[in-house]
Amino acid sequence: MPEEIAAMETSTGRPTPNELDKLCSMSVTVPGQFRLLRVRLLGEGQLVASLKTYGLLKDRPEYEALSYVWGNKGQGEMFKLQVDCEGHSHDFDLLPSLHTALLHIMSHVPGQERILWTDRICIRQIDEDEKNPQVVQDNKADNTVQVAQMAEIYKKAQRVLVWLGKPARHLGEMDVAHNLGTSRRLLDVADTVSDLAKNAGPRFDPRGTAGLPPASDPVWAVFSDIVRKDWYKRIWTLQEAVLAQELTVHYGAHVLAWDDVERLVNVYGQVPVLRDQDDRRDRDNFRDPDDLQQRWRWRFHHVMWIHEYQHYLRQTPPKTIALAHLLNTSMYKASTRAHDRVYGLLGLAHQSVRDGIVIDYDRPLRDVYVDACRQILQRDTKLQLLSLPFERDGRGGLPSWCPDLARWNGCEVQRQPVRQRRKPSTCPGSVRISDDDRLHVRGFVADTITAVSHAAFPGFAIREPERRWRHIAAYYRESLAVAKGAAGGTDTGTDSAVAVHAESVHWRTLIADRHGFEGALMTTAEAERGYRSYFARGEAAKAQRSAEETRLADTYSAYVLEACNRRKFARTKGGRVGLAPETCQVGDVVCVFQGAVVPHVLRRNIDDDGGASRTFTFLGDCYVYGLMESAAVDAFDEGLEQGREFVLT
């Protein structure tokens, strides 16, 4: 998934337009004002338009807001749109995506007027080639005000029009029209399929029982094209869709109700037979049907987020979506500017959070990320910010504790089951950020790392199943060697007490408990059988493995992959073992912070004169056997540990 997003960021970014509205004096630098575009479609595909300023809160007509992907500057020629700006005619350069969107949307009301809001025209863009300093200043001031109130603009629109784009070239227009009719008939059986899938389990095949067409039916190709469009993957479009009062989807010449798209996605993600439509890479890398089915569901989580966030915000009273959660969501979305990792979803956060972050693309990215984290820590009593799965290597001048929100790393210790199963502390986190951006947090040193595996588990970097198994075997053997000292043994054989202890800890606590699945989907005994079916019998016996052995082994592989991704196996001075950040080394300290759910690893800094500093570098969170239950939390709650202040640079 992160690879797909990285590719998109280079192919569908928002370019800087060549020519902007330099002469139009309609600069809107006062919050509460915005522009609306009145458009008509005349014959021969000719668009005529006018632009006028209105008050956002009053004295404005009903309008529709357009949500679309700008596309690449090199994707076709630019189109001119002549717009009357309160008596002055000016030409706007339109990217092909916007020009096509306007033509198709207006084709449904030929000759009639539509009042639209679209960012490319209604916001004065920043032109990097502009030489006139006054124009540059006016454009930036207008852009800052308008971008800051985009959430309100979409929220107050009568409806939001989603432009997905045209159908893929291999789909003929007649086929699309016919199969969209078929997809509407699928809605009649959508609820039936959902109920049957829930009762029958993940291997449910509805052909011949629930009325669904076979996997080879072209209706699935059309629907697959609909849900794979780039619109779903952008940061800003998520906010635009969630805030909409009404959402309609334009797919070429066709208009779909958003609720219908949601229902079809729900069915599409539940039916394993549809995996046959997946691409060759997925078929090569997901040999188990259940794993591939999870891949399908993953593909459509963009749609599910819209549903989830709409549900949150439409409750009475509306629920608050934490900024930390939104930033975590942003890692699955594509953006052109790294600032949009914060700005692009800010409109879904609580008003007090929005008030604390000023949208300004001229600000250094470092300051934008630190300010966002400052807002989170003011409300984050469990210090979950320190567990967000982003890189923390100080690149770009970021403090070690501040995540680089543009670089996801996939190391997620604090999964939902962990947060649910851990005993919450009665002592909330005590943190502050000083003016020099150092994080001050109370806690105590619980242990010191005395041994680590030579290399971190490469995790998600391994795509091929057989190669992944070889890495799991090697990582497991090295984990046994590291755990030997903690167990007090001397033998690393598979039948030794050391191996039994390490295997139990490695699975039961460090992996299964992370998921909350132990006793539900796989027991420790089942995990051991899956392990032995691949390693104890050797590769020569591969053909003799049963389907059940393969299922157990693949499940075990998936759990290890998520739990150990980019983690080193570590042993501590206190005889504990655990999964630590890949940058950890002997001598680093394991700390328990007041209010935190999991321990963290720190490294003491060195002063300029070579002596030990009073400050620390933050390395990341960890999962340590013996510190994950209530013992560490009780030390604070029962007054056994008063803690000290750690200063993280």
pLDDT tens digits for 282-314? 333 333 333 434 445 556 788 888 999 999 999
Mean pLDDT over 237-249 rounds to 96
Mean pLDDT over 241-256 rounds to 94
Supply φ then ψ for residue 270, to 5 degrees. -105, -15
Cβ(582)–Cβ(566) below 8 Å: yes
Torsion of CA 132, 138, 140, 143, to 10 degrees: -140
Q: Where are the alpha helices (DSSP H) in 286-339?
A: 289-299, 301-313, 323-330
Cβ(304)–Cβ(379) below 8 Å: no
Predicted confidence at residue 436, as pLDDT, reads 94
Highest mean pLDDT pick, 166-180, 183-197, 428-442, 494-508: 428-442
For β-strands 404-408 and 88-94, DSSP reports them as unpaired
Is the pLDDT higher at 157 or at 362? 157
With residues binned 3-state (H G I as helix, E B as strand, rest as coil), the percentages for the chain, rounded to 5, are 45, 20, 35
For β-strands 589-593 and 439-452, DSSP reports them as antiparallel
Predicted confidence at residue 369, as pLDDT, reads 96
Query: Model-level pTM?
Result: 0.81
The candidate with the shortest Cα–Cα distance to 598, out of 449, 338, 424, 358, is 424
- Tens of pLDDT along 448-496? 999 999 888 876 667 676 777 778 878 878 888 888 766 554 444 444 5
Is the pLDDT higher at 512 or at 18? 512
634 burial via Cβ count (<10 Å: 0-12, 13-18, 19+): middle
Distance CA 107, CA 410 (A): 45
Contacts of 331 (CB under 8 A, 6+ apart): 2, 5, 389, 390, 405, 408
- Tens of pLDDT along 399-455? 999 999 988 876 665 443 334 344 545 566 678 999 999 999 999 999 999 999 988
Q: Is the pLDDT of residue 521 over 70?
A: no
Distance CA 440, CA 22 (A): 48
**Percent of the residues in the chain that have a pLDDT greater than 90, as a whole number:** 31
Residue type, 569: F
Predicted confidence at residue 302, as pLDDT, reads 86
Predicted confidence at residue 570, as pLDDT, reads 92
Give the pLDDT band of residue 345 (cuts 50, 70, 90). Answer: very high
Highest mean pLDDT pick, 16-25, 27-36, 187-196, 365-374: 365-374
Predicted confidence at residue 43, as pLDDT, reads 79
> What does pLDDT average to over the chain?
77
Distance CA 394, CA 649 (A): 10
- Tens of pLDDT along 66-119? 999 988 766 667 888 999 987 888 888 898 999 999 999 999 998 899 999 999
Predicted confidence at residue 580, as pLDDT, reads 92
The helix (H) or strand (E) run that includes residue 174 is helix 173-200
The candidate with the shortest Cα–Cα distance to 389, out of 372, 414, 405, 412, is 412
What is the separation of C-alpha 101 from the centre of its chain, rounded to a whole number of angstroms?
27
Distance CA 45, CA 113 (A): 14
